[in-house]
Amino acid sequence: MQHQRLSASQRVSTNTTGGPDAVHAGDNQVIHPWEAFGSYGNNRRTIIERGEGVYLYDTDGNALIDGPGGMWCVNVGHGRREIADAAAEQMTRLAYCSPWSLTTGPAAELGQRLTALAPGDLNHVFFTASGSAAIDSALRFVMFYNNVRGRPEKKHIITRRDAYHGSTYLSASVSGKGRDKSWFDFETDTVHFVSSPNPYRRPDGMSVETFCDQRIAELEATIEEVGAERVAAFVAEPILASGGVIVPPPGYHRKCLEICRRHDVLYISDEVVTAFGRLGHMFASADVFDIQPDIITTAKGITSGYIPLGAVFLSDRLVADISGDKSNDAIFTNGFTYSGHPVACAAALANLDIIEREGLLEHVREIGPYFQQRLAELRDLPIVGDVRGMGLVGCVECEIDSTTHDALERDYAIGNRIDAHCQELGLLVRPFVNMCVMSPPLTITREQIDDLVGILRTGIERATNDLRREGIF
């Protein structure tokens, strides 16, 4: 069947909104992430002027609950003077010095503090300026590690469909969201995909346990097919975040880790979203999923998004395997001008102080179930297909049966309408196409959760009415 294309007014670009926008003329020269070039120069984006707690304020003074918490990063909430002061103080004293030959108090102190918090023997940290660069550096470290160990053929990476690991060449290559793959080139020779562990998409009638076993068997079969002597690492987010907050079946990660150990494959846990409190713990791998990875990557919540910073954690074992007499005099020629940036590290220290002093991990453990329960109530809406999540991250996936519209455009139509209505009502959603991901600041209260869910409900209802009126639903 020929799919009907949406009209221009029905179609809204991928990352803009039909909400009450103030438009900044200069913004038309800024290329944004996931820019829709079909409407480049005309895309309207709300200008946000300031933030306080869980709220953002636009230039017209409208208060918006920050549903996604920035990009799941503003963990301690907006407007924290303490972080700003720490950064300003550091910037005034010393804004920068080269991390190649020098170090600074904040970088060293943060390294010590983070490795003490990281699970098990992840006692070594490499700083980056983003999550993508953390993943990139982790993968480059794995290649370096196997070269130093005299195993240059052990380079292949196994990753998962629906994963998102970043936007550098390598981190994008190991990302598995099909809809992001259309217009770019990727490393393909050494990257292999296994299926997404999304229980919602399991075949009708199959138990979650069987589904999980099948996913594990697929991982092992893929390792065997490529050859364990050629597979270097498996990379996995504890919860597939941008893929739609996919929470894998119980025991999935532990079983994956067992398979990896059995075949001498390193396990990289991408905690760019889950670390620093999102699931009620500083790190989720061990505390939530009962696994001890070889490498953990982080970013985002490490500074609550106040300033860019990422960090890769490496185990004692890995470092010992390539150090001293075993080093072959190799140099790890991977680094960034801003590795261990003192201002970012000072901000990260202040951020950790807030998380600890205000008991935010405990708060998430206490309020997380209420957040999930309230979101789950949206299941009764006719266009809601699934609601899932954990801790303070959740996803409301909307879907409609429509044989008359192209699937992608139809899904954008849903997401953009929900987004616009919610913004009018005071909630920022910014769905991933048809998936409304909520990842608010960890400071959110019960009353604010009630507001968030109430607005989301009305927004979805109004969007549903629009879709009916427009004949899309």
- String marking each residue 49-78 x if it binds ligand PLP according to CB under 6 A: ----------------------x-------
Q: How many CB atoms lie within 10 A of CB 310?
A: 29
CB of 158 to ligand PLP, least distance (A): 16
Q: Does 279 bind ligand PLP (CB under 6 A)?
A: no
| Nearer of residues 141 and 164 to ligand PLP, judged by Cβ | 164
Q: Does 368 bind ligand PLP (CB under 6 A)?
A: no
Q: Does 196 bind ligand PLP (CB under 6 A)?
A: no
Nearest residue to the partner ligand PLP, using Cβ: 131
| Nearer of residues 62 and 298 to ligand PLP, judged by Cβ | 298
- C-alpha 344/C-alpha 347 separation (Å) is 5
Q: Does 130 bind ligand PLP (CB under 6 A)?
A: yes
Q: Does 276 bind ligand PLP (CB under 6 A)?
A: no
| Nearer of residues 307 and 456 to ligand PLP, judged by Cβ | 307
Q: Does 270 bind ligand PLP (CB under 6 A)?
A: yes
Pick out residues in 320-349 that bind ligand PLP (CB under 6 A): none
Among 157, 194, 241, 360, binds ligand PLP (CB under 6 A): 241
Q: Does 164 bind ligand PLP (CB under 6 A)?
A: yes
- Is the Cβ–Cβ distance between 296 and 124 less than 8 Å? no
From the number of C-beta atoms within 10 Å of its C-beta (0-12, 13-18, 19+), residue 271 rates as buried
Among 154, 156, 165, 278, binds ligand PLP (CB under 6 A): 165
- String marking each residue 297-316 x if it binds ligand PLP according to CB under 6 A: --x-----------------
Q: Does 197 bind ligand PLP (CB under 6 A)?
A: no
Q: Which residues bind ligand PLP (CB under 6 A)?
A: 71, 130-132, 135, 164-166, 237, 241-242, 270, 272-273, 299
